[in-house]
Amino acid sequence: MIKVADVTKKFGKVLAVDSVTLDVQQGESIALLGANGAGKSTLIKCILGLLDYRGEIEIQGHNIKENPKFSKSLIGYVPQDPLFYDMKTVSILEFFGSIRGVDDKRINNLLNLVGLEDHKNKLSSELSGGMRQRLSFAIGLLSDPPVLILDEPTSNLDANARGDFLNLVKEHKDQGKTVLFSSHRLDEVYFIADRVLFMKSGRVILDEKPENLASSLGIKVKINLRIPESSIGDAISILNKEGFVSVGSNGSGLYVEVEEGNRALPFEKLIKNNIPIEDFSLQESSMETVINHIEANGY
């Protein structure tokens, strides 16, 4: 569905995208990860036909440079921070709908689909961040394109709005849309992506399935367990005997670091030994941690 062949983009002497080659199959969801300046957004803008570049890019077999108008019609794009004229929500959709040649029925269906039916007469300035991103998503869906490209679409959303938006994307991915998105959050990757492409200095240095990412890089999850003070010593001793290396007291109980696929293991061991667990929390690895692991592994 998306074919990128030896694409290079320079800004003066700065090499932003360096000979990137990748293929995205129909119905596949690809996550672009990497530090700021890694080249994710620049690569996306090349695929969108917004920047000139060396190399070849095809959308559903159509070369972006040779057939830009049709190629772009196959893509629905959601930017990180959408900007709108201060018009009513429905008027904004109607404006973009007139460009895409869609009728009012499609616009009304989209308002319902993204949960904006009750807000269609609000000005864009009256919408919350989550609603504005839903509106941006609706615009991207106007012509029912087979490809969705999202550039860090949840970076400015709170937890609830982010969850709602990700569910919308996941629903369309499950319906067969091809999705390419950039992100700084591993939980989004695990929820949506079929493959992870990690970029560094303009190059793709790692292509991995999400379920293998943590194990291949040795990434761990920190679990904080609240247990009675009288049981902390016994709990640490039990976990140490079971082979857990990073274990210690944290003031309200203990913490233990485990591999991504073994989250339940410390719970099983403690419960088996009659250690009461009153509460727990998970501390996911940050993108900075992932970057450090990748660099430590020589990528």
Q: Residue 207 carries which side chain, given as an amino acid letter?
A: D
The average confidence (pLDDT) of the chain is 90
> pLDDT category, 298, cuts 50, 70, 90?
low
pLDDT one-digit tens code per residue, 59-89? 999 999 999 999 999 999 998 888 888 899 9
> What is the average pLDDT across 285-289?
71
Rounding to the nearest 10 degrees, give the CA dihedral for residues 55, 61, 64, 68: 170
Residue 57: pLDDT over 80: yes
In percent, the amount of the chain with pLDDT more than 70 equals 96
> What is the average pLDDT across 2-6?
97
Are 297 and 217 a contacting pair, CB within 8 Å? yes
In percent, the amount of the chain with pLDDT more than 90 equals 65
Burial label, 271 (beta-carbon count in 10 A; 0-12, 13-18, 19+): exposed
Residue 217: pLDDT over 90: no
> pLDDT category, 3, cuts 50, 70, 90?
very high
Name all domains of the chain by residue range, CATH numbers in brackets. 2-215 (3.40.50.300), 220-296 (3.30.70.980)
Q: Helix, strand, or coil here: 59?
A: strand
- The pLDDT score that the predictor gives to residue 263 is 83
pLDDT one-digit tens code per residue, 148-201? 999 988 888 888 888 888 999 999 999 999 999 998 887 888 889 999 999 999
Report pTM: 0.81
> What is the average pLDDT across 131-149?
93
- The pLDDT score that the predictor gives to residue 275 is 94
- The pLDDT score that the predictor gives to residue 177 is 96
> pLDDT category, 16, cuts 50, 70, 90?
very high
Are 237 and 247 a contacting pair, CB within 8 Å? no
> What is the average pLDDT across 35-44?
92
Distance CA 146, CA 129 (A): 26
> What is the average pLDDT across 218-227?
86
Distance CA 273, CA 276 (A): 9
Are 5 and 56 a contacting pair, CB within 8 Å? yes
Write down the H helix ranges in 193-256: 210-217, 232-241
Nearest to 9 by CA among 70, 76, 55: 55
- The pLDDT score that the predictor gives to residue 142 is 93
Residue 43 φ then ψ, to 5° = -60, -40
